A and B are shown apart, each in its own frame.
Chain A
């Protein structure tokens, strides 16, 4: 298939589904013997009918609890696994055919997995990558230099990988994954386990790379800071189904129909009196936190200021981490 033109979506998932057949075994000796004599299987739907499109140059966050189907979707989009149903098209190619020209246009970075050789300096592995992707030596030296500068890597590339810190290793992995200048970056937890400074460095590198090369990024992360800093658009997947496709703000509104109003009063106020304005989340001394529906927020705040001895008032959204975390823990969607 011919590569896509620049105006069409660079990533397209149409009704993408993946069902795994897994052996079902009861616990205990009886279960083991039954399993040995008559093996039973059950189908587990990891991804169900997921559809979305991503335009060239977009940075999209892919959110969801563990086991929601994020990584399975990424594996289908990179061609590592075949979909059970539906279609995927990435840079104009059907991923699971894994044609060489397709593989030259994409990359997948998995935070917990490495492609670099553990006992050798990263430069040795980079030399192999440059040869595999057909990048000539002068060009590959230039690219390594540029990427190393962006990632703040220097002599680390000459030290055996096993001697590097986790953050340095992750940066070297990113360099290896981007040496061939892929158009589409699939990043699965690229900041997992990194300290705050290293996370920030990787984030700023990704933003810089996207700006400089116009690359498309689909990013999964459990750190909301990655998503809020990089992705104007998010996809939220839950139990294999796409629950949200839009801005982070729209997701917040969808998950939290109320906003939080924090009041600091000049004198104590009876609880019954406060309930007239909204749901009382907490009341500690003279500091009160109320949850008020968005549609009546302006009127409620005006009444609060008129009726109560307010010393300070602050309106805020509940933190997105908290909302999504709550969603993940509850395991149910509104």
Chain B
């Protein structure tokens, strides 16, 4: 080969260039799908429906959360959900079945980095829509308006990002099962119910019977919505325990995902390619 040899870039410089190039291209791509993203944002109004249910119900008072706190919690749950959504299983299954995974596997970059960039880019497009919906919420319920303390705001940002990372890794881990079964997307249905009810989307964890609550707290689900939403809405929450649990689950799932990938990719048949 007579091509001139490239001087290797410093790993940090290389990583920065890959990250910015991926984010820029995925942002440009997501701009093309902005109408679809708006619809997806609107479809995430489950917390508002649950707010209407709880606020009118006598059980709501039994939670020890007044209407203001309930409204703030469910708005916070809506916002957190918007930025913790992941859809790796769906796209990975499609990419694997339609042969789009093969070109990705032939580049010196793990395919999951591309998915991570596309999720982050989509969140950036989603941001103004979420801000608009939140503004409308305060127009309808002005008494629920609040401004979180700077400390809580920062902690919420960190917790929401980590919750997204956790959800992303749950999806990546399950997507690896695609190497064993072509239709792994069906598993998403399986985790949809625990995601909805155990995460705190349908009700804050305080609404759960104590025994169930203790059980649920051993799962990663409350960390996805309940923990960041309580932080944002100013509720009572064990901050250190929450972050430690997030770090534990993220590390564990990352290791499990890597193991499944390493074993699974040997089974890849490069169908459709």
Contact = CB atoms under 8 A, between A and B. Distances in A.
26 contacts: A56-B1, A79-B105, A80-B102, A80-B106, A80-B270, A80-B273, A96-B266, A103-B106, A106-B106, A113-B99, A113-B273, A114-B103, A115-B104, A124-B28, A127-B24, A127-B25, A128-B18, A132-B109, A134-B9, A134-B17, A135-B6, A136-B6, A139-B6, A212-B2, A213-B3, A214-B2
A294 interface: no
A199 interface: no
A301 to B, nearest CB: 47
Nearest to B16: A131
Contact of B102 (A113, A127, A134): A113
Interface in B219-273: 266, 268-270, 273
A328 interface: no
A110 B104 CA distance: 13
Given A113-B102, A117-B25, A125-B25, A103 B107 contact: yes
Given A80-B273, A183-B1, A214-B2, A131 B21 contact: yes
A130 interface: yes
A302 B109 CA distance: 66
Interface string A47-87: 00000000010000000000000000001001111100000
Interface residues of B, number: 33
Interface of A: 20, 56, 75, 78-82, 96, 98, 100, 103-104, 106-108, 110, 113-115, 117, 119-120, 124-125, 127-136, 139, 181, 183, 212-215
A134 B28 CA distance: 22
A119 B29 contact: yes
B6 A134 contact: yes
Contact of B21 (A113, A130, A215): A130
A113 B102 CA distance: 9
Contacts of A107: 106
A81 B268 contact: yes
A327 to B, nearest CB: 26
B108 interface: yes
Interface string B91-126: 000000001101111111100000000000000000
B144 interface: no
